[in-house]
């Protein structure tokens, strides 16, 4: 009899563990603490699935042309090989828009106003943040790189929309 796929078994165990941890936070009364715990758990789920050059952080995204900052983003997946972020510790920092792959909002519950706010944040990143095309030397672009616009995602603990 063949053993089951160990990769899948370990991944399932991590997901089950994260769900149990999330359920355990239900008794916490401070939304900020609950949110931070969920951000940590979601980040821990992503880490084993990502290549080493993809980082996970939290903070703000900066637009390179003007220095404009986004609002606070719960989880940022970024490509370390394009532009490194300025990190204040191992995860919190400022992330150049060119290197950001995903901007993920984590919610314990989702209300209509939080959904509208997340939508506005995502729209702002899509419409109002410019991207520099590549490396420059003496004012000329010398090396362009493939940049895709940031993808925005909302992750909800209980998966339901509340009024």
Q: Measured between alpha carbons, how far is 37 from 108 in angstroms, rounded to an integer?
A: 10
pLDDT band at 102 (very low <50, low <70, confident <90, very high): very high
* Phi and psi angles of residue 35, each rounded to the nearest 5 degrees, phi first: -65, -40
**pTM listed for this prediction:** 0.76
Q: Measured between alpha carbons, how far is 153 from 62 in angstroms, rounded to an integer?
A: 18
* Domains of the chain by residue range: 52-162
Locus of tokens 């063949």: 2
Beta bridge partners of 153: 104
For 125-150, what is the mean pLDDT?
71
């Amino acid at each position: 009899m063949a053993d089951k796929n160990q990769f899948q078994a370990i991944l399932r165990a991590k997901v089950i563990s994260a769900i149990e941890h999330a359920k355990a936070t239900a008794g916490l009364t401070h939304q900020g603490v609950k949110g931070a715990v969920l951000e940590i758990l979601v980040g821990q789920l992503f880490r084993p699935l990502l290549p080493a050059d993809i980082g996970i952080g939290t903070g703000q995204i900066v637009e390179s042309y003007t220095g404009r900052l986004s609002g606070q983003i719960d989880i940022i997946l970024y490509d370390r090989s394009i532009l490194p972020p300025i990190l204040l510790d191992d995860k919190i920092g400022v992330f150049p828009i060119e290197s950001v792959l995903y901007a993920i909002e984590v919610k314990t519950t989702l209300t209509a106003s939080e959904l509208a706010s997340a939508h506005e944040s995502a729209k702002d990143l899509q419409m109002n943040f410019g991207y520099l095309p590549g490396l420059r030397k003496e004012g000329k672009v010398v090396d362009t790189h493939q940049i895709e616009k940031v993808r925005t995602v909302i992750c909800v603990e209980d998966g339901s929309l509340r009024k």
